[in-house]
Amino acid sequence: MKCRKCGGQAVLELRRHNAAFCAPDFQEFFRRQVTEAIRKHRMFTREEPVLVAVSGGKDSLALWDVLSDEGYTTTGLYLNLGIFDYSRESRAKCEAFAADRGLKLSVVDVEALVGAPIPEVQHATRRPTCSACGLSKRYLLNKAALEHGFAVVATGHNLDDEAATLFGSTLRWQTDALSRQSPLLPSTHPKLVRRVKPLYRLSELETAAFAFLRGIDYIVDECPFSRGATSLVYKEILNRLEAASPGAKHNFVYGFLERGRAAFEQLENVTLRECARCGQVTTGVLCAFCKLADQVKRAR
Amino acid sequence: MKCRKCGGQAVLELRRHNAAFCAPDFQEFFRRQVTEAIRKHRMFTREEPVLVAVSGGKDSLALWDVLSDEGYTTTGLYLNLGIFDYSRESRAKCEAFAADRGLKLSVVDVEALVGAPIPEVQHATRRPTCSACGLSKRYLLNKAALEHGFAVVATGHNLDDEAATLFGSTLRWQTDALSRQSPLLPSTHPKLVRRVKPLYRLSELETAAFAFLRGIDYIVDECPFSRGATSLVYKEILNRLEAASPGAKHNFVYGFLERGRAAFEQLENVTLRECARCGQVTTGVLCAFCKLADQVKRAR
């Protein structure tokens, strides 16, 4: 197998691109996919400081690595979810990564803000654990960005993540979720920062290979609560489709962005207001995070 | 396991309905699903003669059985595709079914109209076999209905068929196909008859059980050309989803009809005209069937 670019020995075959690359050319390809995502969706400029949400996993650290290498001004944000060893270890990975490269890292403690660590939050709500955790992460990321003056938050969601989310929304035809799925969620209210996913063009395999080749020390374990999560069932199904027909995930996500999404955007039209409690953005009177925090308080 | 209706011994569990039925009550349930489909989508009235497309398989014969039992005026239409033993055997099943019940059956020979039997058609076109065959069947059904004065054609597509088709269109975000998928395709042109799918609420397992309990003698073999067909891959994937989460197929198809479809309908707007050669409806100058017949003629 020869590298598409230099003709040397390839280390990685990308079937959906019908290509193979040597280690240096794969890294170049990877970086180009990230910068192409940023350019195509006008995610941010070189002048804008970017808050990068880092979990200690391969995706977010690979993203932070590329953005800082490409000369963007970045600050990492680690949300401490209080999930036992998993949180302790993943935090240490983020801190070591930042220290090695002289990058700034903020740490926000979820327990202090929602009233309990994530393992306890699940007892206080009827939501599945991943749902309460995702809600809290979106809320706290936005809050941290606002407080520190960032106009944009970047997350490490990759092509597999996007395909799995899209798959779940499509199976249930959740038109509100479908109208909002995009690599760029613009700020539609002064209290809502722009959210971007610069890795949406890269598969999980590709981010893992990049992190490995770059010698990034990341946490390999998955969150202990993710076992049995629906998103993992969807990923497994999509992997089987991909094996049968390389490019299936890519076509599903890109086709949605090019043709599907527009259909749902015209259906949805929501009015955003500020939460009566915390002032962050919501479509109701109290935001979902404040309601969750109330449930946690009552349960304690 | 007890029958939901009479409390007697159940013979079939329907997990997505969280119910089980004895043999007579299942048949009653099945018939009610068909009449509910007809009523809900205003497929046809008791006064309209219905042309029922029959293949000799469980679905189309179960459909014909219910419609004639319920007092609708039906005529069966068998398309002889010329697929060796498969066609001979399936035709015999249809003829025996019609003779037993004193029903009228028309037989149309595909070879006479497209210029070759289906096994040869595939050599003349770059389309996959199932695609050329499907195109021919839709065309010839419509033509037969027009010639014999039927305003409506009913086909035996079940919930699994609809879910698989929807799945394929969604994976590629084929917005034109998505805008057209429905249990009722109205006549949008004087030369296009209404097409209806009264079994869309019933799964493959349910039509098989109904055909078995009714003692319908149907062809069990699948078409020899369907091996490896993408639709079978989709069905297998959807069956795994269904096993993990009963009702997934149902929710996918029903959710699409209730919420998804409207989004695509507003996107698509095609103008229908008559084919310059045969006079049937097309969006181009020559219809796809006439182009296919030309390819067959050139290849012979």
Q: How many CB atoms lie within 10 A of CB B276?
A: 12
Cβ A173–B237 below 8 Å, yes or no?
no
The reported pLDDT for the residue numbered A270 is 77
Give the span between the Cα atoms of A281 and A260, in whole angstroms: 27
Residue of A nearest to B266 (CA): A263
Cβ-in-10-Å burial (0-12, 13-18, 19+) of B149 comes to exposed
Cβ B262–A267 below 8 Å, yes or no?
yes
Beta-bridge partner residues of A19: A14
Residue of A nearest to B259 (CA): A173
In 3D space, the residue among B185, B186, B197, B210 whose CA is nearest the CA of residue B38 turns out to be B197
Cβ A173–B258 below 8 Å, yes or no?
yes
Give the span between the Cα atoms of A140 and A198, in whole angstroms: 20
Pairing of strands B74-80, B104-109: parallel
pLDDT value at A266 more than 80 = no
pLDDT value at A49 more than 90 = yes
Cβ-Cβ contacts under 8 Å, B245 against chain A:
230
Cβ-in-10-Å burial (0-12, 13-18, 19+) of B49 comes to middle
Cβ-in-10-Å burial (0-12, 13-18, 19+) of B190 comes to exposed
pLDDT value at B271 more than 90 = no
The reported pLDDT for the residue numbered A220 is 95
Q: Mean pLDDT of all residues in chain B?
A: 94
- For A145-181, write each residue's pLDDT tens digit: 999 999 999 999 999 999 999 999 999 999 999 999 9
pLDDT value at B265 more than 90 = no
- For A171-216, write each residue's pLDDT tens digit: 999 999 999 999 999 999 999 999 999 999 999 999 999 999 999 9
pLDDT value at B155 more than 80 = yes
The reported pLDDT for the residue numbered A122 is 80
| HSE (side-chain half, CA atoms, 13 Å) at B240 | 14
The reported pLDDT for the residue numbered A227 is 84
In 3D space, the residue among B165, B230, B130, B169 whose CA is nearest the CA of residue A244 turns out to be B230
In 3D space, the residue among B110, B177, B186, B185 whose CA is nearest the CA of residue B143 turns out to be B110
| Partner B contacted by A256 (CB < 8 A) | yes
Respond yes or no on whether ipTM tops 0.90.
Answer: no
Residue of B nearest to A238 (CA): B237
> Which of A244, A255, A256 is the closest to B233 by Cβ?
A244
Provide the whole-model pTM: 0.90
The amino acid present at B13, given as its one-letter code, is: E
- For B162-184, write each residue's pLDDT tens digit: 999 999 999 999 999 999 999 99
Q: What is the DSSP string of B192-233?
A: B-EEE-TTTTS-HHHHHHHHHHTT-----SPPGGGTT-HHHH
The reported pLDDT for the residue numbered B230 is 87
- For A68-124, write each residue's pLDDT tens digit: 999 999 999 999 999 999 999 999 999 999 999 999 999 999 998 888 898 888 888
Work out the minimum CA distance from B176 to partner chain A, whole angstroms.
Answer: 10
